[in-house]
Structure 1
């Protein structure tokens, strides 16, 4: 057990940041590529429209928080997908439920962010 812990736990802050950056790269690439292929262009469109529309600073804060929540939710979803693949290749209803719940969390974040975006950009 101690050997496994040594292999996965960085000892320095630089090592911890390295793991975090690797996590973003792997999460966006290997596991979340299809989802991020949708999220990133939508995010760019929202930001471009916000610049064009001249949103206020408080509105910018809300938009950035909403975008961050959606991207973080997608990263959590990708991590659960990766963990599920590591646990078993066989069908398991509990793993299916976990994956569906994680997808539901992303969906919930997207609906909330879209609502805020529409209220700010259209309202």
Structure 2
């Protein structure tokens, strides 16, 4: 088992993550678990849920990919990123959820960030 901070280092093998259900996406294809320290992990499913879930859950997950935002030259503005994520969830018809190329995600993020300024 790993905590949220160890997930990016676990990209080769499936891992078990136990946490409290915080929120389920209206599509049933994604939910958020929080660990004992209050850190959140977003679990994306290949198929929608077929039952209502609540409480403490164990998720066996496999990291498909991850992006590390290096701050060598430019500091990462987490507040601006969170605003962009809110906009993405507000307009799902323009920003569908799913695994896409990282350069496309960054392009969408930069477009949204420019709209916020």
More helix per residue: 1
- Higher RCO by CA contacts (8 Å cutoff, separation 6 or greater): 1
- What TM-score does the superposition give when structure 2 sets the normalisation length? 0.27
